[in-house]
Structure formats: C-alpha cells, structure tokens
Structure 1
Amino acid sequence: MENNLLRPEQPLGIFDSGIGGLTVAHAVTRLLPSESIIYFGDTAHLPYGDKSTAAIQAYSIKICDLLLQQGAKVILIACNSASVSAYDLVREYVGSRAKVLNVIDPVVHYIGENYANRTVGLIGTRRTVSSGVYRQKIKALRRNITLKSLATPLLVPMIEEGFVHNRLSQYILDMYLTHKQLESVEALILGCTHYPLIRPEVEAYYGDRLEVIDSSEMVARALYQLLEEHHLLNQSGEGTKRFLVSDFTRTFQSQTRLFFGEKVELETYPLWE
C-alpha cells in the first residue's frame, strides 16, 4: 500500500541556501494553513549560486538528513540553485522516505501550458542560468518556446541586505532589465526565491507589457496537488512552524519579516559541527 509509512500529520521540510526560501514557505502556509513546516536556511554557506555542484549536493544531503530525522513527509527544495544541482541526487537519496519537490518544474509546466510559440525571459543566479536547466526542460516540452536568460548576481546580496524599494535597488534592476538579452520577451520568470520581494518593482518597470512569473505561489499549488494525490493533506488544526539556520546573525533575523511577511524566530542549528 502506497505511503504506509507516511502520514498526513507529519511536517513539511523546506530548505534554501538562506532565508530567501521563506517566500516559498510563506506561500505554502497561506495555501496550507493546517500543515506544519520545518524550514532550514543554510546561511553558513550562502549563496549557493556561486558554489560548485559537488558542494551544493553535499549541503543538500546533510540538510535532507536533518529534515528526515524531524519526520518530514515532503522535502521541498526552495532554492533554484539547489534544484538545479541536487534535485535528482536528493530524490534518489530520500527514496520512499519522503516526497521531493523542486521550484523549477512547476514553473516549467506553467510556461508550457501558457507560452507555446512565444518568447520568455529568465533572471536568476549564475548557477541557475549557466546550468541551462530551464532551457533544457522547456525545450523538452516541444512547444516552440524561446528562452532568453540573464544572470543577475547582484540581486540576492542586495535583497539579503535589505536594499529593496529604494533608489539603489531601482538602479540595479534597471541595469539588468534594460539588458539586450531580455529584449522582446513576453513573460519574465523570477528564477530565484529571493526575487518575489522585488516583484512589484519589476512589474512597475514593465507595466502591462508582460507577465512576471513568481514561482512561490506556483510551487505552493504544486505541493498541494502532490499532497492531495498521495493522500497526505493535513486538514485539521493549525500547523506549527520552526525556522532553523546553520549560522545566526542579527541581519538575517531582522530581514526574515521581509521574506515571510510576519515575525520569525530563528533557531541556530550548526549542522556541520
């Protein structure tokens, strides 16, 4: 019988290289308020976007071990760079102990359903863009979709440091969004879980000219469908929330409200000691 070891009351495990994945966690808690979550931000090693594949895989497996020990029924990789580098390995490693979801496949599915024979843009970390994973997955759809990608490495540290909705963030965004690589796109994928925080500025830049695609809500809906399909939806009571980081700083603590929309208390969990 499927899922005889997994139960609806088990928590959801969510991880990211830092606190950017809290945008996904927030979308999940809004859509699935009865689900308990355990979030892990690997703040000791961020950003993943500039790390080697081997390093990201090693970090991801360590984090999965922690989340499995905490009884997670699903492991959601709330990080584009880790989804690129470690998703297949994580899925193999976890096996039947939990379901595994990444933040890329739900977006690719949406693009395939809505942008056949059109041109789509992508902004993300160097790791996400250089991997070509979005391009490969979109090409595999065979929907004649052209993808134009641009690495935007300044955006994550800018957002982590709280430089949003001001003159500096506007200058950096303008520099990227006016790049010739993004000319003629009909939609723009925000290919990093930090980027929902600057979605209003991106939308203001483009106006009604294109759709800005935010993965956090799509991933939350995909998670709902996964839980429903495998009879793992927890539909009673209000879920609990734990937020762990591998390295605590007051800067991260102060910025968590930006990402999660409410106050978050971080617990330090030095996984590599």
Structure 2
Amino acid sequence: MKKTLQDFSHLKPDQPIGIFDSGVGGLTVAKEIKRLLPNENLIYFGDTKHLPYGDKSREAIIGYCTKITRFLLEKNCKAIVIACNSATANALKEVMEETAGKVPVIDVINPVAEKVAYEIHNNVGVIATKATVNSGLYRKTIRKHNKFIKVDELATPLLVPAIEEGFKNHPITHSIIYNYLSNNKLKNIETLILGCTHYPLLINEIRQYYGNRVRVIDSPGIVANQLRMILDRNQLLNGKNPQPSYQFYLSDLTKNFEKISKKFFGNSIDLKLEVL
C-alpha cells in the first residue's frame, strides 16, 4: 500500500527540527521555536553566501532551497521549517517534492495568511522582498480564505541588506522605514504583515513609526505555533530533554550572524561552515 503524505510514523520525537533561511532573518523564527518548544533539538542552515534571496531569480532560489532541504534530510530532521518568505513564495512546491512526504514542511506564509484571513482585518499591508511581492502569494492566500480583505503588497528591498549589515536602531534603518511605510500603497492599512523573517528584528522601529494606529503581525510566533500543532498531532513532540542541541551551519561565516545567533542562543554556540 502506498504511504500517504501524512504518514510520519517512521519519525522519532528526539530527531532534530531543521530550519533554513538566506541569513539571520530565520533566527527570529528559530528563537520562537526555542521559546515555545524548549525540548527540541534544532539544526539551522543560513545561506549567507547567497543572500538576499529577494533579489534572486526563481530558478536560483529553487536551486538553493532544494540543496538545503537535501542537507537537512541527511541530518535526519523530523520536520523542515522554511524560515524565509522569498523561499516559500518561490520554492515551496519544490521543497515539498524534495521531501517526498517523508517529513512535515512548515512555511512562513500560509499559517500567517490563514490566521489574518480569519480574524477581523479589512485593509492589510504586506512589506516583503521583491521575490515575495512578485509572487503575490500573500494576497492570493489571504483572499483565497477571505475575498473581502483588501491586501496591498510593497517591495522593501533595502531592509534585508541593512539588517544583514547590522544596522538596527540606526539612522539608516529609521530613514529606510520612514520612506517605505509612508508609501501611498500602505496609506489606509489597519494591519501590517512583516513578509520577511528579517523584519521582526526591526519590529520596535516599525511599531514606533505607526504608534497604535496599525497592528503589526508577529509572524515567527504564528509559525512556531503551527509547528507545535503539527508535531503534537503526529506525536513527534520531544519529551524531557535537559540539554537540547542547537547546530548552526552557514554557507559563509558572517560577523552579524554570529552576533545575533549568540544573542538569541547564548555564547557557547558553534557556527559551522557548510558550502553545498
């Protein structure tokens, strides 16, 4: 009998969770997973050599993502979290094909879009990379669940390089945020989705711009909750684990990644170079 896509009985709770992104952005998701699921072992791959994904072609993004997925499967991961909106928007289908239903795949767009669609929102704004905005996936997914919501998407390509260069609470990021958020496309929004996992690193500055006028969605928290629900449903939550392991692999070692990863996971973490 052919195994269904949802049969994960061959997996064990103590296997690690694989998480990947183009750089430091996915650490915002990894941090929430660590907080919500403190017993889980995590393996993170940051494709810092090829960032930002948002400026790359769809074919290039698919190539990067399938290689990383293969790597995480070889590392015996029980679930894979695509902690990158550009990767989700362009390569989700290919990542699913690469896993061939062997492990659950959690992306960062569908859980957020679905949650927003079923809550009280009328005018929703999305800021994201060019690759994510060009895909139109947020708008399509939200309106698939709720056709009455108006969704405006704005490409904000300068934010990822600024974050990767370590500009946080800095005049440069203040200026970029002001210029983007004052765009007419976002004029009447009530809710803002940060459609890139890098952007929560600037969430305080974004909230400061809006005051209390606009609700800013916490995407990493939504994604971590979705992961927990899927693992629980498949009896894959790790039990008592006093010393969970956190492994970090990068395609290019960068100072900013080292700084942020140590801030989130402690100074004892080990960053390994892995060129796929």
Q: Please confirm whether the aligned pair reaches a TM-score higher than 0.5, indicating the same fold.
A: yes
User: Which residue number in structure 2 is paired with residue 4 of structure 1?
Assistant: 9
Q: 1:162·1:255 contact (CA, 8 Å) conserved in 2? A: no
User: Superposition pairs for residues 243-262 of structure 1, below 5 Å?
Assistant: 243-257=248-262, 260=264, 262=266
User: Which residue number in structure 1 is paired with residue 165 of structure 2?
Assistant: 161
Matched position secondary structure for 2:140: helix
Which segments of 5 or more consecutive residues in structure 2 lack a partner in the other structure? none
1:99 equivalent to 2:104? Answer yes
Q: 1:10·1:71 contact (CA, 8 Å) conserved in 2? A: yes
The one-letter code of the counterpart of 1:52 is: S
User: Which residue number in structure 2 is paired with residue 210 of structure 1?
Assistant: 214
Q: 2:49·2:251 contact (CA, 8 Å) conserved in 1? A: yes
Structure 2 distance, partners of 1:138, 1:248, is 36
User: Which residue number in structure 1 is paired with residue 195 of structure 2?
Assistant: 191
Q: 1:160·1:255 contact (CA, 8 Å) conserved in 2? A: no
The one-letter code of the counterpart of 2:10 is: L
User: Which residue number in structure 2 is paired with residue 268 of structure 1?
Assistant: 273
Q: Deviation at 1:139?
A: 1.6
Deviation digits for residues 164-215 of structure 1 (CA, Å, limit 9, x no counterpart): 1122211111111111110010100000001111101111111111210121
User: Superposition pairs for residues 57-68 of structure 1, below 5 Å?
Assistant: 57-68=62-73
User: Which residue number in structure 2 is paired with residue 119 of structure 1?
Assistant: 123
1:225 equivalent to 2:229? Answer yes
Structure 2 distance, partners of 1:187, 1:250, is 34
1:181 equivalent to 2:190? Answer no
The one-letter code of the counterpart of 2:189 is: V
Structure 2 distance, partners of 1:265, 1:203, is 33
Which segments of 5 or more consecutive residues in structure 1 lack a partner in the other structure? none
Matched position secondary structure for 1:96: coil
Query: How large is the RMSD of aligned CA atoms in angstroms?
Result: 1.4
Alignment match of 2:80 (pick from 39, 59, 75)? 75
Deviates more, 1:25-34 or 1:95-104: 95-104
Q: 1:12·1:38 contact (CA, 8 Å) conserved in 2? A: yes
Q: Deviation at 1:125?
A: 0.4
Q: Deviation at 1:4?
A: 2.6
Count of aligned pairs? 269
Structure 1 distance, partners of 2:177, 2:255, is 26
Deviation digits for residues 75-129 of structure 1 (CA, Å, limit 9, x no counterpart): 100000000111111112202321111000111111111135x000000100111
The one-letter code of the counterpart of 2:34 is: T
Q: Deviation at 1:255?
A: 3.9
Q: 1:121·1:188 contact (CA, 8 Å) conserved in 2? A: yes
1:53 equivalent to 2:58? Answer yes
User: Which residue number in structure 1 is paired with residue 132 of structure 2?
Assistant: 128
The one-letter code of the counterpart of 2:219 is: S
The one-letter code of the counterpart of 1:59 is: Y
Q: 2:45·2:249 contact (CA, 8 Å) conserved in 1? A: yes
Structure 1 distance, partners of 2:119, 2:60, is 35
1:236 equivalent to 2:256? Answer no
Structure 2 distance, partners of 1:146, 1:165, is 31
Q: Deviation at 1:253?
A: 2.0
The one-letter code of the counterpart of 2:99 is: V
Q: 2:163·2:198 contact (CA, 8 Å) conserved in 1? A: yes
Q: 1:125·1:152 contact (CA, 8 Å) conserved in 2? A: yes
Q: 1:121·1:189 contact (CA, 8 Å) conserved in 2? A: yes
Q: Give TM-score, length-normalised by structure 1.
A: 0.94
The one-letter code of the counterpart of 1:128 is: T
User: Superposition pairs for residues 28-47 of structure 1, below 5 Å?
Assistant: 28-47=33-52
Structure 2 distance, partners of 1:101, 1:84, is 13
The one-letter code of the counterpart of 1:228 is: D
Deviation digits for residues 131-174 of structure 1 (CA, Å, limit 9, x no counterpart): 10111111211340000111101100111111111222111111
